[in-house]
Structure 1
Amino acid sequence: MSRGGGGQLSLGQSWAIGVGGMIGGGIFSTLGVVIAVAGQWAWASFLIGGLIAMATGHCMSSLTVAGDKAGGIYRFLRDAGFARVAKLSAWVLILGYTLTCAVYAATFGSYLANALGGPHWLPGAMAAAAIILLALVNLRGAGEAAGLELAIVVGKLVILVGLAAMGLARFDAASLAVADPPGWFGAVVGAASVFMAYEGFELLAYDYDEMADRKRQIRRVMPLTIGTAIAVYIAVALAVPMLTGTAAIVADGEVALAKAGQAALGEPGLLVVTLAAALSTGSAINATLFSTARLAREVAVEDELPQAFARQNRAGAPYFGVMVIAAAALALAVIGGLAALVTGASVVFLLVFGTVNLLSWRKSRAHPAIAAFGTIGAFAATLLLLAHLAGFA
């Protein structure tokens, strides 16, 4: 049943949730991966992935407005008559988001430990502290969680844009070169390999009922969030090699941006980029906890998940979902060893987005050319990524 549009989330707060969900651990941990695959075409990898994400955002917002309900792909599949597949998709997404939250927390701990030094248990302790703190923020309700998200997102974007500006001021195309250039096809493989960097905008479909003037807002906020991510990713991919060189980025792995900040400004640069990483991964944890708990609530209301997930506290927060997801993510973050699962997450989200685009295309809810591009692009990228993982591409 359709509900009124008097939610708590403003356009700015919704934008912050979407951007926070995307620009989380992604750009901090995947830049070395995409350069290793795509070489000087790394910026094009982020552009290709972004265009697929933009098409998916258009299809997702169109389907959400047509049904006028929160729930994302779960809702779309259920309304299309695929109840069993819808239930399975909800479980898979919740597990995937829990894993993603753990990865963000682990990245948070790695950056802080790199800057501070300390005992071997420090990264795990920092990761656990981040999850616990942000779970407590989420338990205070939508206004508190979204307000914190807006402040964090603005802060991290200022730092990332500043780092990009320093690199671009020294721009020299020769600095993008790698020892064994892969050719333009590497950009396509790179886009598939790091597509998880664009996971996050779909969280807004779970928060639809929380938005003010929701039908208008979700159509506006989807392209705004994805466009922001595309611009930041391309700028960073072009700028950071100017500061450290491509070989160093690949070698430094998930702390490559911290090393770039150190190369640009010395110790202050290391600390500033570490702050950006902490803000970025923290906002991603916050956004993912916020939206995943609301997805679980929507599914539980329809008896497809245990009823405990539908329970809310006085602030309107789905407290059981927040606590269970946070506890599972904390355990995964402390255990570590998630690299292979992170790669698999790109496959999961490409399949999810491809399915959304296909549903929109079949139901004529979005512009047919955009839906066709999103469908073909997502499924082709999935096949390409699987071929790459198998060593064929």
Structure 2
Amino acid sequence: MSEQQLGLTEAVSMALGGMIGGGIYAVMGVVAGITTYATWAAFVLAGVVALAAGYSYNALNRLSDSPGGSVTFVQCFTGNTTLAGMTGWTLLFGYIGSMAMYAFAFGEFAVAFGAIPTDIAGVPARPLLSVLAVAGFVGLNVLGARTTGTVENILVAAKVAILLAFGVLGLVYAFGAGGGIRSGASQLTGFGPVVAAAISFVAFQGWQLLFYDQDSIADPVETIRTAVYVAIPVAIVVYLLVGVVTVNLVPQALQSHPHVALKDAASLMARPYGLAALGGTVLSLSALFSTGSAINATLFSAAHFAKGMLSDDLLPDRIGSSDADGAPPRLVVLLGVVTAAFTAVGGLGAITSFASLSFIVVFGAMSYLAFRHRDQGSIHPVPPLVGVVGTVGFFPLMLWNLSRREPNTFYMVVVIAVLVVAVELLYFERETIAREVERFENEIPVGESSG
């Protein structure tokens, strides 16, 4: 293996870093608000569907003519450039939603420290801090900053260790205090856990970033395959533990200030040792670091993903040059501006739903492609079918939940989706449209055109 290439350990770290970077801090309050004590079931269900999608990605990667991710797979197995481009645009919107979600959580935890006033010069601190965080990481990416594989190993290990310690100590505290653990079994018969699973789906999206950087991974097909199958189950375990502990220890905090409820849970479990303040501080610092690094990593990956789309003429040349050394600065700034707008004016539930919808569509499409090609390369039909059924079930439930809880946001999402699809079709079918217009104009007699 070349010294410049990443091995299995680094690949697992990248996949875990993409999932456990900031997702758990951002979605926990939203998910728990829907399904309370059955939060664990939502994460397990979302993780199973993500694992099925991971199987589909690995199968397509093994059969594909060239290394790549979703866009490459669509182009390779359908030959439809328009569908490939629309898939890429959908993913970009998903990445923007993810970054906005991380930035929202970053601002919430920063304000939760209490050292910063809730208003700064008449401007609410949370959106201001969120926008500043995005701006800071845009600056870093424009300058070309990137975390190395070794550092990523250390950072991910620290994040996972803190959350695992949080979960284990929380269980010890819950049973030691005599209250035990409520499983929410009575809620498993309703739609709540499924709706919550759909919303939490965005927390399981980071692993697919491995497929866009295969040139830097040793034995990429096999290494990525193993990394995906290791990282997703680990993420499920972490989310399950954190979810069970949080909803059992601080259910009232999930009602009053759900976005930072993990901080209250950490303080509570450390109180018997006289370390309540330290516990809350460590968890908050971990959240700030995790959400910040998630913004940075996602922006870096999204910008390089978009650069590849520029090379394939799937994005307008005006937003950046595919010949740039690294990510085109204009492209990075554009992604940052749109992210900042989302995180400044959107609610966390709406942003999370928007991002999850994007990944549900793409992961479902990849699962369908794998199922359609199940006769090739020993693809077992069950995992792709689970991915298709799961995402097809998640999508309408997401829309239903959004329309019921945030109707104004629902209408906005629908309008944006229609506009985006229209712009995509106009862009990718522009040559066909131009030919048809020219043909129509040529068929009109000169006399009629002046008459």
User: TM-score, length-normalised on structure 2?
Assistant: 0.77
Q: 1:16, CA displacement in angstroms?
A: 2.5
Partner SS state of residue 207, structure 2: coil
Distance change in 2, residues 1:229/1:288 (3 Å) = same
Q: How far has the Cα of 1:353 moved from its partner?
A: 0.9
**Cα separation, 2, equivalents of 1:7 and 1:367:** 34
Out of 256, 260, 273, the residue aligned to residue 251 of structure 1 is: 256
CA RMSD of aligned residues (A): 2.8
Give the letter aligned to residue 86 of structure 1: A
Q: Aligned partners of 1:268, 1:326: CA distance in 2, in Å?
A: 34
Please state if 1:269 is matched with 2:266: no
Instruction: Tell me what 2:182 maps to.
Output: 176
- How far off its partner does 1:132 sit? 4.2
- The alpha-carbon deviation at position 123 of structure 1 amounts to 3.3
| Structure 1 residue 60 displacement after superposition | 0.7
Q: Which moved more, 1:204-213 or 1:357-366?
A: 204-213
| AA partner of residue 157 (structure 2) | V
Tell me, yes or no, if structure 1 residue 189 matches structure 2 residue 199: no
| CA displacement at 1:164 relative to structure 2 | 0.8
Q: Give matches, 1:217-296, under 5 Å.
A: 217-244=223-250, 246-265=251-270, 266-296=276-306
Match of 2:419 in 1: none
* Superposition deviation, residue 234 in structure 1: 0.6
Quote the Cα distance in structure 2 between the aligned partners of 1:216 and 1:320. Answer: 35
> Helix, strand or coil for the counterpart of 1:153?
helix
Deviation at 1:302, TM superposition (A): 1.2
The residue number in structure 2 matching 1:205 is 211
Q: Any residues of structure 2 matched to 1:290-369 within 5 Å, and which? A: 290-307=300-317, 308-313=320-325, 316-317=326-327, 319-337=329-347, 339-364=349-374, 366-369=379-382
SS of structure 1 residue aligned to 2:90: helix
Please name the residue that 1:49 is paired with: 46
29-38 or 137-146, which deviates more: 137-146
| Distance across 2 between alignment mates of 1:236 and 1:228 | 12
Residue 190 and residue 225 in structure 1: after superposition, are their counterparts in 2 closer, same or farther (change >3 A)?
A: same
Q: How does 1:68-87 map to 2 (within 5 A)?
A: 69-79=66-76, 80-87=78-85
Aligned twin of 2:23: 26
Instruction: Report the Cα distance in structure 2 between the residues aligned to 1:320 and 1:76, rounded to whole angstroms.
Output: 27
Following TM superposition, by how much is the alpha carbon of 1:381 offset from its aligned partner in structure 2, in angstroms? 2.0
AA in 2 matched with 1:252: H
Task: Find the structure with the greater CA-based Rg.
Answer: 2
- Report deviation, 1:335: 4.3
Query: Taking structure 1 as reference, are residues 386 and 169 closer, same or farther at Cα in structure 2, changes over 3 Å only?
Result: same
Equivalent pair of 1:7/1:210 in contact (CA under 8 Å): yes
Describe the shift of the 1:5–1:220 C-alpha distance in structure 2 as closer, same or farther (beyond 3 A).
farther
Identify the range of structure 1 (338-347 vs 358-367) with the bigger mean alpha-carbon deviation. Answer: 338-347
SS of corresponding position for 2:5: coil
Write the mapping of 1:66-145 to structure 2, written as runs, cut at 5 A. 66-67=63-64, 69-79=66-76, 80-119=78-117, 120-121=119-120, 122-138=125-141, 144=147
Q: Which secondary structure does the structure 1 equivalent of 2:6 belong to?
A: coil
- 8 Å CA contact 1:41–1:187 kept in 2: the answer is yes
**Aligned amino acid, residue 298 of structure 1:** G
**Greater CA drift, 99-108 or 208-217:** 208-217
Q: Establish whether residue 153 from structure 1 lines up as the match of residue 171 from structure 2.
A: no
Amino acid across the alignment from 2:242: V
Q: Distance in 1 between matches of 2:105 and 2:242?
A: 18
Is the alpha carbon distance of 1:251 and 1:176 closer, same or farther for their aligned partners in structure 2, counting shifts above 3 Å?
farther
Following TM superposition, by how much is the alpha carbon of 1:340 offset from its aligned partner in structure 2, in angstroms? Answer: 1.9
Write the letter of the residue equivalent to 2:388. Answer: T
8 Å CA contact 1:33, 1:250 repeated in 2: no
Partners of 1:8 and 1:132 in 2: CA distance: 30
**Structure 1 position 379 matched with structure 2 position 379:** no
Supply the AA of the counterpart residue of 1:380: G
Per-residue deviation, residues 340-363 of structure 1 (Å, max 9, x unmatched) = 232132222112111110001111
**Contact 1:32/1:251 (8 A) holds in 2:** no
Instruction: Report SS of the residue matched to 2:154.
Output: helix
Deviation at 1:391, TM superposition (A): 4.7
Over 3 Å counting, the alpha-carbon distance change for 1:30 and 1:144 in structure 2 is closer
* Local SS of the residue matching 2:187: coil
Look up the SS of the partner of 2:21 in the other structure.
coil
**In structure 2, distance between residues paired with 1:298 and 1:367:** 31
Deviation per CA, 1:254-286: give whole Å up to 9, x if none: 101011112222211111110111122122212
CA contact (8 A) 1:128 1:330 kept: yes
Q: Is the 8 A contact 2:36 2:247 kept in 1?
A: no
In the alignment, structure 1 residue 62 sits paired with structure 2 residue 67: no
> Is contact 1:296-1:310 (8 Å) kept?
no
Specify whether residues 277 and 5 from structure 1 end up closer, same or farther in structure 2 by C-alpha distance, changes over 3 A only.
same
Is the CA contact 1:65–1:215 (under 8 Å) kept in the aligned structure 2?
Answer: yes
- Quote the Cα distance in structure 2 between the aligned partners of 1:331 and 1:149: 29
Structure 1: which 5+ residue stretches go unaligned?
none
- Alignment coverage as a number of residue pairs: 385
* 1:311 counterpart SS class: coil
- Letter in structure 1 aligned against 2:51: M
Change (3 A) 1:142 1:62: farther
2:421 alignment counterpart: none
1:260 to 1:63, Cα distance in 2 relative to 1, 3 A: same
Aligned 8 A contact 1:145 1:286 in 2:
no
Does residue 15 of the first structure (1) align with residue 25 of the second (2)? Answer: no
Residue deviations 1:296-345 (CA, integer Å, cap 9, x gap): 122111111234252332xx455554343234323433445454232132
